[in-house]
Amino acid sequence: MKSRILLVVALYISIIPHAASESVHWGYGDSEGPENWGKLAVDFDMCARGQNQSPIDLEAGIDADLPELEFEYENIGILQEVNTGHAIQENVSPNNYLHVKGVKFELKQFHFHSPSEHTVGGEYYPMEVHLVHQNSEGEYAVVGLLFQTGEPNELMNQLPSFKAARGVDPHSNPIDYNDLILERENYFQYNGSLTTPPCTEGVFWIVLKQPIIASSDQIQHYRDLLGFDNNRPVQPHNARVILE
């Protein structure tokens, strides 16, 4: 009898943490928040144990004379704007690329974090967008763009929920993603992770230095759509170098 109980307990213990990570509820609140992500599922282990995690504070990078970024965004269009429960995300048309060291990474989606996830010299920005790219091996290259408050941003007015708010067809006149990239030469580069579970490492991170200007109303629009802060706190650099 005792061994059967032990068996049941063992099964229970082995089953629970192996719950498919897609079905594990995580968020930004206390018990399910960033401090506890690593405990929510075995697949989320890197969130707690990883040594190359994102986001980080970007400061004092090594001057590495980084190459000009090579974007090939030619098939513009947003297929769908979705609230994933963790961010407002724009799913984009296929066949838009970022070239990194001769490897082609396809743009999969972009999504918003508010406040920013990366900080620069300890300073937070009101919002950050992540352009998520993947190569044929499934590896990630993510471009982070920081937002600063100022004049309204015309490009943002063309995003689906802004159009819907004005009673305009959300999919008319697709935005040109190229206009999001204000510069291609001044950026930070480091090796990090996804900033959400499962916190997968080996992500090639690029954060542009030139912030995008948007009005506080536009930034608030995204905050209201999601309804809570969705930034993971900055993580230790450990042995990593930041290039700029």
User: Which residues make up the interface to Zn ion (CB under 5 A)?
Assistant: 130
Question: Least separation, in Å, of the C-beta of 218 and Zn ion?
Answer: 18
> Rounded to a whole number, what is the distance in angstroms from the first to the last CA of the chain?
64
Report how many helices (DSSP H) and strands (DSSP E) the chain contains, helices first: 6, 12
Question: Least separation, in Å, of the C-beta of 86 and Zn ion?
Answer: 9
Considering the complex, state which of residue 140 and residue 162 has its C-beta at the smaller distance from Zn ion: 140
Beta pairing, strands 187-193 & 127-134 = unpaired
Determine the Cα–Cα distance for residues 68 and 64; give it in Å rounded to an integer. Answer: 12
Question: Least separation, in Å, of the C-beta of 118 and Zn ion?
Answer: 10
18 is catalytic: no
Considering the complex, state which of residue 74 and residue 229 has its C-beta at the smaller distance from Zn ion: 229
Active-site position among 18, 25, 86, 118:
86
Considering the complex, state which of residue 134 and residue 168 has its C-beta at the smaller distance from Zn ion: 134
Considering the complex, state which of residue 108 and residue 171 has its C-beta at the smaller distance from Zn ion: 108
Q: Which residues, 6+ apart, have CB-to-CB distance to 1 below 8 Å?
A: none
16 burial (CB, 10 Å; 0-12 / 13-18 / 19+) is: exposed
Q: Could you give the 3-state DSSP secondary structure of residue 74?
A: coil
Beta pairing, strands 187-193 & 119-120 = unpaired
Nearest position to Zn ion, beta carbon: 130
Question: Least separation, in Å, of the C-beta of 4 and Zn ion?
Answer: 46
Q: Which residues, 6+ apart, have CB-to-CB distance to 169 below 8 Å?
A: 163
Instruction: Indicate which residues carry an active-site annotation.
Output: 86
